Amino acid sequence: MKTPCILSICTVALVVCTQVFAGHHQSHNSSHSGVANDHAKPIGDKLAISHPTVRAVLPGKSITAAFFTLANPGQEDCTLLSAESPSAERIEFHTHQHQGDMVKMRSLDRVNIPAGESLVFKSGGLHLMLFGVDQDLNSDGVTQLSLHTDQCGSVTVSATVIDMMAASKHGAGH
């Protein structure tokens, strides 16, 4: 009985910390003009990606997550079918699902992007999970993320690698 409660508390704490980090990271990026990740990167005339980031891998771990905003200004729906990176063995689409007191991560086979809408891949919501990640994926670096869709083509973007622990410490004084 105590274990599910502890896991729930840990999950909530992780979500809160990552949301605080995401807010700090966005304000940090917006204060630097010319940062490439602040601009939407179009996929042909179908989709646009903005703010692509990947969390640095924690020591001794081989998983991490990626976040960005994906906009579909087109006239037809598009479906994300897969993602890949030279820094990871495998990437999955994940989301969080609330069940009573528990928050569970759930893998998705595909992600639909309705025409005229945007999806935010963020901590505590829809995101990419990277598995079998290189240990040298560390902060202040960049890695490539490739997204593959049904009828909207594929794109590769450069994602900034962010050290969540350092950002938390940096933001603690604000």
Residue 27 has a pLDDT of 37
d(CA 91, CA 135) in angstroms, rounded, equals 16
Residue 14 has pLDDT above 60, yes or no: no
Cα-Cα end-to-end distance for the chain: 38
**Per-residue model confidence as pLDDT tens digits over 119-158:** 999 988 999 999 999 877 777 789 999 999 998 888 889 9
Of 76 and 98, the one with more pLDDT: 76
Residue 10 has pLDDT above 80, yes or no: no
The 10 Å Cβ neighbour count of residue 57 is 22
Mean pLDDT, the chain, rounded, equals 75
Q: What is the pLDDT of residues 20-50, one digit of tens each?
A: 334 434 433 333 333 334 455 555 557 889 9
What's 56's DSSP letter? P
Q: Is pLDDT at 85 greater than 90 in this prediction?
A: yes
pLDDT tier for residue 9 given thresholds of 50, 70 and 90: very low
CATH placement of domain 2-171:
2.60.40.1890
Of 102 and 4, the one with more pLDDT: 102
Start-end of H helices in the chain? 2-30, 164-171
Asked if pLDDT for residue 117 goes beyond 60, the answer is: yes
| CA dist list (Å): 30 to 23, 39, 55 | 11, 10, 18
Note the pLDDT of residue 43. Answer: 53
Q: pLDDT band for 168, please (50, 70, 90 cuts).
A: low
Q: What is the pLDDT of residue 74?
A: 85
Q: What is the pLDDT of residue 20?
A: 34
